[in-house]
A and B are shown apart, each in its own frame.
Chain A
């Protein structure tokens, strides 16, 4: 469906150069992990791919489209944030369906895809709850479900497991791996955890 091409990407903040001339080719369906200490620019790179930051130089392609100057919503991406960024004023169901509603999908389709997404992440019994009534692990799964139901060709994850306790993290890691096998979305995954990186990345590099 869509590989990601990053060519000589450079991003400069007021005083620091966050990323400098990075080029990277990510194949379709690949699970690419960006590993590095905090502050090394991996989240910045991810945010540039998402369109939340604007490149100062270089270009980014998704599939065969140049998305360098496109808004996030036109890039064909879905993102899971480190803080999950689950909307506190919406139920789990509305959270998961938010992106589909924004894309004006028909009601029946939204209901169906939300049910599928909830099923996939074991959230079916929690659909009517508000985020405040969920545990950290459940919120994390809502964030993943919300991104997955978009069926975007590219999935971006910014340390999605770093706020979970050790046991949950193992479980969630296994879940994410299984999900990637099932949905085969091109994924960029940012982490500073080496074990996580080794166990999740597509092996062929």
Chain B
């Protein structure tokens, strides 16, 4: 009994510690982003917001290039979702349904791409995209983001399709569907919540990604690249507002797809 209490205390204590580790910086950024510029340098920093103002946020949103870069970011993320799901869903489906030669090797290779530090690729990537005439182009950024998100998409969609019994598709086939029709009418609708979760996570991956956008674009920058480009010279308030603005979608989406992540990671 005592051991159990101790166990629980340790688990919850650890969880709370980790939560604070993540939440405190977010919290500090958030209150700073809503503190008027003049009060930003107050010391000691108040832990509860004393004055609330949207002045800093407004300043950030009205800064030159921010709104266009937000639009760029959203476009890139949408392209990434489209490319990623178009390529990743069939791959995940194949992994879930077919026992083909080299299946395990394929799984390992898909994951191995994640072990590759992308910085090594920067020069070859830039050169390749220049040669293709895709430099400084949102599609180019989306293609790189797709490559980065694909292992994750394949893994998730694979798990999703494993959960959809193949007998359902076979039943549909005996009832008059082609192989493709059975997929469209039965497997796909049942997989849709999981695919939506994968799409949202892909959005976050793309939204947060800064490397590809920095090396592959000059004028058509995404938001992280835009913020990074001015990081050294921009005023403190700009950084806080930018940080909060960039963290918000990720936080919101994680809350939305929490349920699916729990399924994915096997706990309830």
Asked if A83 and B165 make an inter-chain contact with CB atoms under 8 angstroms apart, the answer reads yes
Chain B, Cβ-Cβ closest to A152:
B174
Stretch at the interface among A85-93, A163-171, A185-193: A85-93
Number of chain B interface residues as a range: 10 to 19
> Could you tell me which residues of chain B, from 170 to 229, have a CB within 8 Å of some CB in chain A?
170-179, 181, 186, 189-190
Q: Does B168 contact A (CB under 8 A)?
A: yes
Q: Kindly state whether residue A9 has any CB partner on chain B within 8 Å.
A: no
Is the beta-carbon distance between B176 and A73 smaller than 8 angstroms?
yes
B175 touches A78 (CB 8 A): yes
Most buried by B among A82, A99, A102, A103: A102
- Which chain A residues numbered 31 to 59 have a C-beta less than 8 Å away from chain B? 50-52
Residues of A within 8 A of B179 (CB): 71
- Collect the chain A residues with CB atoms within 8 Å of residue B190's CB: 88-89
The A58-105 residues at the B interface (CB cut-off 8 A) are 71-73, 77-79, 81-83, 85, 87-89, 98-99, 102-103
Sort A-B residue pairs by CB-CB distance and give the 7 closest, nearest first.
Answer: A102-B176, A99-B175, A85-B171, A85-B167, A79-B174, A72-B173, A73-B176
Task: Give the size category of A's interface with B.
Answer: 20 to 34
Q: How far is the CB of B86 from chain A (nearest CB, A)?
A: 23
User: How long is the Cα–Cα vector from A78 to B173 in the complex, in angstroms?
Assistant: 10
| Bound: A150/B172 CA distance, A | 12
Question: Among the interface residues A52, A73, A89, which one has the most CB atoms of the partner chain B within 10 A?
Answer: A73
Q: Is the CB of B170 within 8 A of A52?
A: yes
Residues of A within 8 A of B176 (CB): 73, 99, 102-103, 150
Find chain A residues with CB under 8 A from B181 CB: 102
Q: Which residues of B contact A150 (CB under 8 A)?
A: 175-176
Most buried by B among A52, A72, A87, A156: A72
Name the distance in Å between A109's Cβ and chain B's nearest Cβ. Answer: 15
Nearest Cβ distance between residue A15 and chain B, in whole angstroms?
A: 12
Is there contact, CB below 8 Å, between A78 and B168? no
Which residues from chain A sit less than 8 Å from chain B, CB to CB?
50-52, 71-73, 77-79, 81-83, 85, 87-89, 98-99, 102-103, 146, 150, 156
What residues on B are CB-neighbors of A73 within 8 Å? 173-178
Give complex CA distance A51, B174 in Å: 8
A42 CB to nearest chain B CB (Å): 17
Contact pattern, B 103-128, Cβ under 8 Å of A = 1, otherwise 0: 00000000000000000000000000
| Known contacts A87-B186, A89-B190, A102-B181; A81 and B175 CB within 8 A of each other | no
- Which residues, 34 to 78 on B, are CB-close (under 8 Å) to A? none
Give A78 to B175 CA distance when docked, in angstroms.
Answer: 7
A9 to chain B, nearest CB (A): 18
The reply to whether A102 and B186 form a contact with Cβ atoms under 8 Å apart is: no
